[in-house]
């Protein structure tokens, strides 16, 4: 026995009106529990909405370009009554039976012969100044984000409707006109930069074109904005972690095979929280009130960490890290890193961060300049520790030295505060007993 059920968007954190960038199913498709139904896109990353049960897609109520929030209808699914309650959904931690609503069965499909029609390219409709442009709310929102006046966009959709492609074509044409009118400078963003070189690399040899992943497209735009708009400064320091590493190895040796695996990242996050409490301006964001800039000091400590995935870097967040032990932090880091590699991170896993740690210790390097993850005001970069001879006043002794790099926003922080921040952090890592003081 089966029945038709209506499937909705599950809990997606604090996000609302997320654009649908891809619908992955169509009527007649068979889906299994947890199969992706559609892909949404936030300013952090893209995410798939999983099916809360197995069945056959009857109808799809959304399309690419629509915007959805928690509870928005996605599709109707014909599923077995006896199996639906057994499948546990991610919707508020409830069963599928609680997450979907019954819907009347559709009318029988009637086969109708299709008469082929020659393809005719639609002539664009140019909106006159007095005419109201025909565009959906999602297209208007998309145009606003790009700074496009929809009344100036030529429409090619049915009935003179403006499509997403029309907006993109308008932007491309505007950029071409801009480059032609200013061949020696790129005025986009008011930066007065030289135009990006347009090179045909194939004339020098064989090339291969590879599409960027969605994560890289999104993060690339954010990183470009952050690097250009934030006055970055980077301070460097070294921490002697000889004793801390020995303690970490000892904990893992004593724990056994199935015990918590303590990582250096977990110790770094705990030390970062203690240092942020001593220097609260690093746990802040710039804001605006009545047209005046203000500093928002946060009383919570949500620490992000850069996770490497096949599709690019993402930044999961350990929430309330000040209230958690190192073992719990290590466990959560491992769980979030696995979700990141599997593409299962949700918006709630990547929002609300107050400070970020980017560790390349497992890969290598002697130092780098991390880019601040706005709206945060600082980020800690860590590379691989190396054993070096260090003078102790009587002779040289082998010590394990960890390079630290702190990038900070010069609008909020100054060099003296950054130097003291790193000194405090290095002292904690050198003698972790200090964290109890």
Name the DSSP letter for residue 36: E
Distance CA 270, CA 437 (A): 14
H helix or E strand, kind and range, residue 223: helix 214-229
* Calculated CA dihedral for residues 268, 269, 271, 273, nearest 10 degrees: 160
In 257-368, DSSP assigns E strands to: 284-289, 292-297, 303-305, 307-309, 312-314, 317-318, 355-359
Catalytic member of 8, 302, 410, 424: 410
Q: What are phi and psi of 423, to 5 degrees?
A: -60, -45
Q: Name which of 58, 80, 77, 59 is nearest 2 in CA terms.
A: 80
Active site residue 410: yes
Which position has the token pair 């961060």? 353
DSSP secondary structure of 134-162: B--HHHHHHHHHHT--GGGSEE-SGGGBP
**Cβ neighbours, 10 Å, residue 73:** 15
Greatest alpha-carbon span in the chain: 94
Q: Name which of 110, 99, 158 is nearest 134 in CA terms.
A: 158
| Contact between residue 400 and residue 240 where contact means Cβ atoms under 8 Å apart | yes
3-state secondary structure of 270: helix
3-state secondary structure of 381: strand
Query: Hey, which residues are catalytic here?
Result: 410
């Amino acid at each position: 026995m089966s029945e038709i059920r209506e499937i909705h968007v599950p809990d997606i954190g604090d996000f609302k009106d997320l654009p649908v960038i891809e619908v992955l199913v169509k009527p007649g498709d068979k889906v299994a529990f947890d199969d992706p139904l559609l892909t949404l896109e936030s300013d952090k990353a893209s995410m798939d909405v999983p099916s809360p049960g197995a069945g056959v897609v009857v109808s799809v109520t959304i399309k690419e370009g629509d915007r959805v929030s928690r509870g928005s209808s996605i599709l109707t699914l014909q599923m077995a009554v006896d199996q639906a309650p057994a499948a546990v959904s991610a919707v508020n931690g409830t069963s599928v039976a609680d997450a979907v609503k019954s819907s009347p069965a559709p009318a029988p499909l009637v086969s109708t012969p299709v008469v082929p029609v020659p393809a005719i390219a639609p002539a664009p409709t140019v909106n006159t100044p007095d005419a109201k442009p025909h565009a959906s709310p999602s297209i208007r929102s998309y145009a606003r984000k790009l700074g496009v006046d929809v009344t100036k966009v030529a429409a090619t959709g049915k009935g003179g409707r403006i499509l997403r492609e029309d907006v993109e074509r308008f932007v491309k044409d505007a950029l071409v006109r801009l480059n032609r009118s200013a061949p020696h400078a790129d005025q986009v963003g008011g930066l007065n930069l030289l135009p990006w070189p347009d090179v045909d690399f194939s004339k020098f040899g064989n090339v291969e074109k590879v599409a960027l992943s969605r994560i890289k497209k999104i993060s690339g735009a954010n990183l470009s904005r952050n690097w250009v708009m934030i006055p970055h400064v980077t301070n460097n320091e070294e921490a002697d972690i000889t004793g801390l590493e020995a303690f970490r190895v000892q904990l893992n040796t004593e724990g056994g095979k199935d015990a918590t695996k303590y990582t250096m990242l977990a110790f770094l996050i705990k030390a970062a929280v203690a240092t942020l409490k001593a220097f609260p301006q690093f746990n802040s964001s710039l804001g605006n009130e009545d047209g005046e800039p203000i500093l928002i000091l946060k009383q919570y400590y949500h620490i992000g960490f850069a996770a490497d995935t096949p599709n690019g870097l993402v930044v999961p967040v350990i929430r309330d890290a000040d209230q958690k032990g190192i073992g719990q932090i290590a466990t959560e880091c491992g769980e979030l890193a696995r979700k990141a590699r599997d593409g299962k991170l949700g918006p709630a896993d990547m929002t609300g961060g107050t400070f970020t740690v980017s560790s390349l210790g497992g890969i290598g390097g002697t130092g780098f300049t991390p880019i601040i993850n706005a709206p945060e005001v600082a980020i800690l970069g860590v590379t691989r520790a190396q054993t070096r001879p260090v003078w102790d006043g009587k002779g040289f002794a082998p010590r394990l030295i960890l390079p630290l790099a702190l990038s900070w926003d010069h609008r909020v922080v100054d060099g003296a505060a950054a130097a003291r921040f790193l000194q405090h952090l290095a002292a904690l890592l050198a003698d972790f007993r200090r964290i109890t003081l």
